[in-house]
Amino acid sequence: MTVEPSLTVTVEWGDCDPAGIVFYPNYLRWIDAAFHHLLAATGTSHEQLAAAHGAIGTPLVEVRVRFLRPSGVGDTLRIESVVERWERKRFHVRHRIYNGETLAVEATETRCWAGRDADGRMRALPIPEELRHLLDAQ
């Protein structure tokens, strides 16, 4: 089964605030899902990569969001995601959320590759080449 790299979401009544527009935390939930969907489009998952490299995975360390156009019940949103920049232990994922052909939201996530040290504390680790290769191919 082939997974498309973009994610489509239909806005439901419960996704909206009393003004009838998407309640902003839902965008954070959807961009997180879009990142995991991007991984699935490579033929792997967050859990498989973490297990293969003895890591926790890719925790979110920063997020920035710009709201450009409101969306509401019944709207179909398309989320396009791409890794914009790599660092040694962190990477930046750009998400563009379209309502029809109109850009409604822009977001950037910063994630790190993480594992546990000898004391069990979470710490950032160098990003495996496999992860870079998989996501750069998208």
Here the CATH number for the domain that contains residue 12 is 3.10.129.10
Average pLDDT over residues 79-107: 96
Is residue 66 situated within a structural domain? yes
The total number of structural domains that make up the chain: 1
117-137 per-position pLDDT tens digit = 889 899 999 999 999 988 887
Is residue 20 situated within a structural domain? yes
Separation of alpha carbons 79 and 106, rounded Å: 10
Local confidence band at 4 (pLDDT 50, 70, 90 cut-offs): low
Is residue 57 situated within a structural domain? yes
Is residue 2 situated within a structural domain? no
Check if 17 is active-site.
yes
Local confidence band at 2 (pLDDT 50, 70, 90 cut-offs): very low
Domain that holds residue 44: 7-136
Is residue 1 situated within a structural domain? no
Catalytic residue among 15, 17, 75, 117: 17
Query: What's phi and psi for 110, nearest 5 deg?
Result: -110, 125
State the CB neighbour count (10 A cutoff) for residue 13.
9
Is residue 93 situated within a structural domain? yes
